[in-house]
Structure 1
Amino acid sequence: MSQVSIDLLRTFFELAQLKSYTACSKKLNLSQPAISNRIKRLEDAVQFPLFIDRNPHLGLTDEAQQLYEITQRIVDELGKIDSLVEGGTFARSRIGVLPAIEFFFGPEMIWKLDTPGTGPKLEIVTDSEDNLLRKVALGQIEIAVVCSRLGEPEHSIFSKHCKLSWICGPQFDESTLADNAEVPVVIWRGNVSRGPSADEILESSNRAHRVVFETSSLTSYFDAIRRGYGVGFTVDSFLRTNRNPYSVKVLESHLPELGQIDFHVVCNPHSPAGVRKLASQLASVFEEA
């Protein structure tokens, strides 16, 4: 067993988790042949195959399952060592958020974090839900904050249900929407969570509608609604007084139900303790939302 190194075990652990040579290659920044070579060396050392039919997609062999559990404990202990040094000059924590979440919750998220300058460097990136979840899986970011209508993502450490509501400007006359009248719709086409857009929701409800304003800017989206161009929708939590600079109001009737959306804070459970603490601090923002 002297031939077994930490590098071989870590490669085995990541490949067992990701079940893909491609994903493992990206996460470890190694070529696929290099990963295959490490797996072969580990199999030669332990004298048994690691994956059923040599295919990570099919799962671990019975013998390899025991090795995986031991390796998991080793990786956890290495994570504790990482947490001891993550306050160093070059340490960093990368947080990915949806643009809408950063737009409404950015200041609160920053205030919830530890005192500036005492921890790792923080980087905030925005992207779509699918891309953020993929980046967490590949280790390209440590934490993702998303909202989704398609179920809880893997490694979600916090989830909260929130209602979706139709919104309009302060002077918008709701009575113009009565009797299945045509709905003027404002659409935001930015990087958003997965799920149908306003026009798709109305179409599925067989409701006549017309897109009157379309933008990739959240500022323009809410400004167009406030000025009375048409209706849109958002999360109720976004409409609290301290987050509603556009003074839009909720439409109480005449339009189909939108259902709910879930906030999720996603973090790999094998992350260093400092990263998991950071994820918990971010989750507390949405506990109060």
Structure 2
Amino acid sequence: MDWDKLRIFHTVASAGSFTHAGETLGLSQSAVSRQIRTLEDSLQTSLFNRHARGLILTDEGETLFETTKDVVSKIHVTEQKILEGTESPRGKLKITTTSSFGSTWMMHNIKKFIDKYPDIDVQMLVGDQDYDLLTREADVAIRFHPTEHLDLIQKQVATFHYHLFASPSYLNKYGRPQRPEDLDDHDLITYGSKSTSPIEDIDWILDYGTNKKRKPVLEINSIYGMLQAVKSGIGIGSLPDYLVQGSMNITPVLEEYESHEFPAYFVYTQELRNSKRIAAFKDFIVREFKKSIF
């Protein structure tokens, strides 16, 4: 099997279409399609089922894709090892974290890292889903739940605090709760989707101080969206302190009661345990977290 054709196959399988793969590879759609057809002819099997909505891997295609993912991962690791043969950290560093943390705290602080390490090419991947570090979707993750994979290295680097917040307009209209039990009579904003939640028990407000399960007035699967909903006066929500810092039109409620804590983990693969890029970023994160008040 020709590696160049396998490389094209891997890109097509990852992209799900000849058009998107062509954009990534700098080739025309017809050229990509022709290369895949030649590969299929040489293997005497179909690798994709063609549909109007795109491409779906056949069983044989899935088998080949698993192999190419492993090869691409090893090539990437080897490339980074060669690049890091110098004393200063260099190469590409793909960092993934949640949408709210990535678009706020990270955006406020990542410039310090970029300025200190100009030879490291930083790519941020933000989203509440977990990118797969084992298949090189990202190099390192900052997560707010422990990993389930034993072959990943994780280090707790901070503890974040969540408090309850509301807007002044909401409190003027509905009053301020004095005890957790008073939340029974208030409109509550929650994340809602357990399957995509980046934090365990993110909707603790629903049973805080009560034996029954409260019903939220609004569910929104975005922590940043929850902040905007609270600021607009829709109700009371549980938000991380790092997200609220500096925000206008929002005030804490029940602040005299204990906050909820969520650990933050720095996660990467065993293959990258000696990477200078990972070590530099970990040192940066630990140092900047110590300066922050969560």
* TM-score (norm: length of structure 1): 0.59
SS at match of 1:280: helix
2:135 to 118, 126, 138: 138
Q: Is the 8 A contact 2:163 2:240 kept in 1?
A: yes
Q: Call closer, same or farther: CA 1:202–1:278 in 2, change over 3 Å.
A: same
2:164 to 160, 163, 166: 166
C-alpha distance in 2, partners of 1:279/1:150?
17
- Structure 1 stretch displaced more, 264-273 or 149-158: 149-158
C-alpha distance in 1, partners of 2:89/2:242?
37
SS at match of 2:168: coil
- Structure 1 stretch displaced more, 279-288 or 169-178: 169-178
Counterpart for residue 38 of structure 1: none
Residue 127 (str. 1) matches residue 127 (str. 2)? yes
Counterpart for residue 227 of structure 1: 232
- Counterparts of 1:13-32 in structure 2, within 5 Å, are 25=67, 28-29=70-71
Q: How high is the sequence identity, in percent, across the aligned residues?
A: 10
Counterpart for residue 57 of structure 1: none
Q: Call closer, same or farther: CA 1:115–1:213 in 2, change over 3 Å.
A: same
Counterpart for residue 105 of structure 2: 105
| Cα deviation code 1:151-175 (max 9, x no counterpart) | 9994124421222211111342214
| Displacement of 1:144 | 0.5
Q: Is the 8 A contact 1:149 1:260 kept in 2?
A: no
| Displacement of 1:186 | 1.1
C-alpha distance in 1, partners of 2:178/2:88?
58
| Cα deviation code 1:169-200 (max 9, x no counterpart) | 13422148776443311123575323124277
| Cα deviation code 1:35-88 (max 9, x no counterpart) | xxxxxxxxxxxxxxxxxxxxxxxxxxxxxxxxxxxxxxxxx9997544127999
* TM-score (norm: length of structure 2): 0.58
C-alpha distance in 1, partners of 2:198/2:87?
31
Counterpart for residue 261 of structure 1: 262
Q: Is the 8 A contact 2:189 2:216 kept in 1?
A: yes
1:284 to 279, 284, 287: 287
Counterpart for residue 187 of structure 1: 190
Aligned-residue Cα RMSD (Å) equals 4.2
Q: Is the 8 A contact 1:27 1:140 kept in 2?
A: no
- Structure 1: tracts of 5 or more residues without a match: 1-20, 31-75
C-alpha distance in 2, partners of 1:107/1:280?
17
| Cα deviation code 1:122-172 (max 9, x no counterpart) | 21112336x23xx22333211101223789994124421222211111342
| Cα deviation code 1:224-282 (max 9, x no counterpart) | 212321111122233333xxx24422212698x65310112223354221232123223
SS at match of 2:114: coil
Q: Is the 8 A contact 1:152 1:264 kept in 2?
A: no
C-alpha distance in 1, partners of 2:205/2:177?
22
Q: Call closer, same or farther: CA 1:221–1:86 in 2, change over 3 Å.
A: farther
Counterpart for residue 240 of structure 1: 245
The residue type paired with residue 115 of structure 1 is D
Q: Is the 8 A contact 1:182 1:207 kept in 2?
A: no
Counterpart for residue 252 of structure 2: 250
C-alpha distance in 1, partners of 2:255/2:121?
47
C-alpha distance in 1, partners of 2:148/2:245?
25
The residue type paired with residue 194 of structure 1 is I
- Structure 2: tracts of 5 or more residues without a match: 1-62
C-alpha distance in 1, partners of 2:146/2:205?
14
- Counterparts of 1:46-65 in structure 2, within 5 Å, are none
